[in-house]
Amino acid sequence: MAIDKKFIQKAIKRPGALTRKAKSAGKSILSFAQEAVKAGSKASTLTKQQAGFYLRVLRPAVKKRKS
């Protein structure tokens, strides 16, 4: 069974959506995502899912690439 090398691209249904939400809120993507996943946040379920995906999967990949 071959490993799909583009699984992340397939997991992202709306590329750039979280970035647009963060910019419209006047925050960085990281601070917006951290605030969205906090307990008691009034963010929508979709936004919470996008923020969680960013924090767990995408952010470590970006940090790894920069170092």
Query: Domain-by-domain residue ranges, the chain?
Result: 15-66
Provide the token pair at 61: 């990949």
Contact 48, 41 (CB under 8 A): yes
The DSSP call for residue 1 is -
Provide the token pair at 44: 């929508």
Distance CA 3, CA 54 (A): 22
Provide the residue-wise pLDDT of the chain in tens; the chain has 67 residues. 567 777 777 888 888 999 999 999 999 999 999 999 999 999 999 999 999 999 988 877 666 766 6
For residue 47, give every residue at least 6 positions away whose Cβ sits within 8 Å of its Cβ, in sequence order, or none. Answer: 18, 21, 36
What confidence score (pLDDT) does residue 46 get?
Answer: 94
Match 């993507």 to its residue by tokens. 29
